[in-house]
């Protein structure tokens, strides 16, 4: 007999976490659309509430459909455990709620999704959590930002919208030296294109709304625990290393070891803050993930052809796509995203702000909207929409200056995608 094979990525994308429903034989994962679950008896109930047994209590804290999604993403990312939540922002929020106390700091890349820039820079002030910005084009800015209050470092693998590829390994070294976890938002790459745990990440978050779901129909978020971080430093991460008042003094890191972070996000963060994923959305996201490898490859292949077309167009000033030979991030893309550089990139129009507005008005097949990671091709002019609330300086630093247009290339026929852009550029 040969050794059992480790299943490949495409197999895990379809099977990980799922099995035929034990009571009905249903092959697709059922939608367990229920708020609560009946206990076997009083002792069973007590052991569930005391975290002595794993099982279902109430859908705010866990649900069997959501659990399949959690196992699937943990398998695809190579983590120890995961937690499904209501949105990407909820995932980020529960991660920081688990890690930070008032007065603490974390370091985040400036080159982030605009919503995360707001969340970290504005909303978190109310919690007394302080973000210190660093620049992925200057790795030493991360090192210089470390202080004795630093509790985490947060980056995106491929930055939204600028498309910059972050040197995860270099920043992981800084995180290790500072004794803090590295959190990677892997939304833009998905685990098919980039595997942050292999490069030193400790925690991964996703907006499953984007490529994981992949069809532009469901909002969801995921947290994946890499199981790599030692939470035992006294007083540094009290949610993990100190006795927990609401669980009879249990110390989560002692009890749950290399998946304690995912447990803490669930039994403290999700339980008390409440952003649960609906079982229906978990089902939609699971269905999407089954075709993730096929879609991501097609997204990336199409995007490269569209980027090449735009680069040669006389009305286009520049194209920032790390998949293009000669791009500033091409070497990093080959290292971190060897199968392709993803669907999303930006380019600059020679005509500036007005040309950007004209282009989004002139497209026919492209949808003008604020999302990425749909099967459909999407277009947006960040300066007039997603990044409107930022100052001009913040816009440019985030890769969203007035001339910038962002595309999320879909999986339609690439000739049709190019033809649509061509006729819209003609009209400018």
Ligand X SMILES: *Cc1c(COP(=O)(O)O)cnc(C)c1O
Instruction: Provide the binding-site residues for ligand X, judged by CB under 6 A.
Output: 87-89, 113, 115-116, 156, 160, 185, 187-188, 207, 209-210, 219, 221, 372
Which residue's CB is nearer to ligand X, number 92 or number 225?
92
Residue 27's Cβ-count burial label (10 Å; 0-12, 13-18, 19+) is exposed
What is the nearest approach in angstroms of ligand X to the Cβ of residue 88? 2
Q: Which residue is at the shortest CB distance from ligand X?
A: 88
Q: With respect to ligand X, which residue has the nearer C-beta, 231 or 387?
A: 387
Closest contact distance (angstroms) between CB of 176 and ligand X is: 24
Q: Give the nearer residue to ligand X in terms of CB position, either 213 or 293.
A: 213
Residues 195, 198, 202, 208: what is their CA dihedral angle, to the nearest 10 degrees? Answer: 10
Cβ closest to ligand X, residue 146 vs residue 159: 159
Nearest distance from C-beta of residue 90 to ligand X, angstroms? 7
Phi-psi region of 412 (alpha: psi -120 to 50; beta: other; left: phi over 0): beta
Taking the least distance from each CB to ligand X, the nearer of 219 and 337 is 219
Q: Minimum distance between the CB of residue 263 and ligand X, rounded to whole angstroms?
A: 23
Are the C-beta atoms of residues 261 and 203 closer than 8 Å to each other? yes
Q: CA–CA separation, 187 vs 92, rounded Å?
A: 12
Nearer to ligand X among residue 146 and residue 378 (C-beta): 378
Query: Shortest approach of ligand X to residue 89 CB, angstroms?
Result: 4
Shortest Cβ distance from residue 206 to ligand X (Å)? 8
**Span between the terminal Cα atoms of the chain, in Å:** 66
Residues in a beta bridge with 345: 407
Nearer to ligand X, 213 or 362 (CB): 213
Q: How far is CA 77 from CA 6, 134, 146, 375, 422, in A?
A: 14, 26, 27, 22, 38
Name the residue nearer to ligand X (CB basis): 95 or 146.
95
CB of 99 to ligand X, least distance (A): 17
Please state, in angstroms and rounded to a whole number, the distance separating the CA atoms of residues 370 and 288. Answer: 20
Query: Between residues 109 and 252, which has the closer beta carbon with respect to ligand X?
Result: 109
Q: Which is nearer to ligand X, 307 or 344 (CB)?
A: 344
Tell me which residue of 67, 115, 130, 62 sits closest to 269, measured CA to CA. Answer: 62
């Amino acid at each position: 007999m040969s050794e059992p094979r480790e299943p490949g990525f495409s197999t895990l994308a379809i099977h990980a976490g799922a099995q035929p429903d034990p009571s009905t034989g249903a092959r697709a994962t059922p939608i367990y659309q229920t708020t609560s679950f009946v206990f076997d008896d009083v002792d069973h109930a007590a052991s569930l509430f005391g975290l002595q047994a794993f099982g279902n209590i109430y859908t705010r804290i866990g649900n069997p459909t959501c659990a399949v999604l959690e196992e699937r993403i943990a398998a695809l990312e190579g983590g120890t455990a995961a937690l499904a939540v209501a949105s990407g922002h909820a995932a980020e929020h529960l991660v920081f709620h688990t890690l930070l106390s008032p007065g603490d700091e974390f370091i985040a890349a400036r080159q982030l999704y605009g919503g995360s820039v707001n969340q970290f820079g504005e909303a978190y002030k109310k919690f007394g959590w302080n973000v210190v910005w660093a620049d992925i084009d200057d790795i030493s800015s991360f090192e210089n930002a470390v202080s004795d209050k630093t509790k985490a470092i947060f980056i995106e693998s491929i930055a939204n919208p600028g498309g910059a590829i972050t040197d995860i390994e270099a920043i992981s070294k800084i995180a290790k030296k500072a004794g803090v976890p590295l959190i990677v938002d892997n939304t833009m790459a998905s685990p098919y294109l980039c595997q942050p745990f292999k490069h030193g990440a400790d925690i991964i978050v996703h907006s499953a709304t984007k490529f994981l779901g992949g069809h532009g129909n469901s909002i969801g978020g995921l947290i994946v625990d890499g199981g790599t971080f030692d939470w035992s430093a006294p007083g540094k991460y009290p949610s993990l290393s100190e006795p927990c008042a609401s669980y009879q003094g249990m110390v989560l890191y002692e009890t749950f070891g290399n998946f304690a972070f995912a447990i803490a996000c669930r039994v403290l963060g999700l339980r008390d803050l409440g952003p649960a994923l609906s079982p229906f959305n978990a089902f939609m996201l699971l269905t999407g993930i089954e075709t993730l490898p096929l879609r991501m490859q097609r997204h990336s292949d199409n995007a490269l052809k569209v980027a090449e077309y735009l680069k040669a167009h006389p009305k286009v000033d520049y194209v920032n796509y790390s998949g293009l030979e000669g791009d500033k991030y091409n070497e990093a893309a080959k290292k971190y995203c060897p199968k392709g550089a993803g669907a999303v990139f930006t380019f600059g129009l020679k005509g500036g702000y007005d040309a950007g507005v004209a282009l989004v008005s002139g497209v026919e097949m492209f949808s003008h909207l604020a999302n990425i990671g749909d099967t459909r091709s999407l277009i947006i002019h960040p300066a007039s929409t997603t990044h409107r609330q930022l100052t001009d300086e913040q816009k440019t630093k985030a890769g969203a200056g007035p001339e910038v247009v962002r595309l999320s290339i879909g999986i339609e026929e690439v000739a049709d995608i190019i033809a649509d852009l061509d006729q819209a550029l003609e009209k400018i």
